[in-house]
Amino acid sequence: MTSFEIYLLLLATPVKVSMTILFFIGALILIIVNSIIRDTNNFRSVEENNEIISKLNKKTKMYSVIIMAIGLLALLMPSTETLIIVNVAPKVINNETVQVLPDKLLQYLDSKLDAEIKSLKAK
């Protein structure tokens, strides 16, 4: 497994996915509000309406792009833990000392890991 594959596995945490979805929903809400405001401006003259609508369209497009870009960056930005795992895990796994650990130690660690997994599943 490469460092990039490890990074992709750790990337899709529920918090990051939900943040990205919220950013995209926010951008869509801006677009919808813009269209509602455009339809409800009947009290002004046509020139004023066109001027207001063109300003709203520019701002809405700009804010929507900014919000979507922030959401995409939030999804792709690695956390400190992810960076540590991506950089340290391959070095530990490929270390010669780790590869020659005694079998008893590995069996002990395996039993402790199984017990921890069972206790987490019980919760």
pLDDT in tens, 17-76: 777 777 788 778 877 777 776 666 556 666 776 776 677 777 777 877 887 788 777 777
Q: Which residues contact 52 (CB under 8 A, 6 or more apart)?
A: 41, 44
Domain annotation covers residue 115:
no
- Position 60 in a domain: yes
Q: Which of 63, 62, 80, 75 is nearest to 22 (CA)?
A: 75
DSSP SS3 for 60: helix
Check: CB of residue 77 under 8 Å from CB of residue 11: no
Which residue range(s) make up the domain with 12?
3-77
Average pLDDT over residues 76-82: 74
Q: Give domain status of residue 37, yes or no.
A: yes
Between the two ends of the chain, the Cα-to-Cα distance in Å is 30
For the chain, how many structural domains are there in total?
1
Residues 23 and 66 sit within 8 Å (Cβ to Cβ): no
> What is the tens place of the pLDDT at every residue in 103-114?
788 888 889 988
Q: Does residue 45 lie in a domain region?
A: yes
> Between these two residues, 5 and 68, which has the higher pLDDT value?
68
In a domain, 72, yes or no: yes
Is 90 inside any structural domain? no
Q: Is 104 among the domain residues? A: no
Mean pLDDT along residues 97-108: 78
Would you say the pTM of this structure is higher than 0.85? no
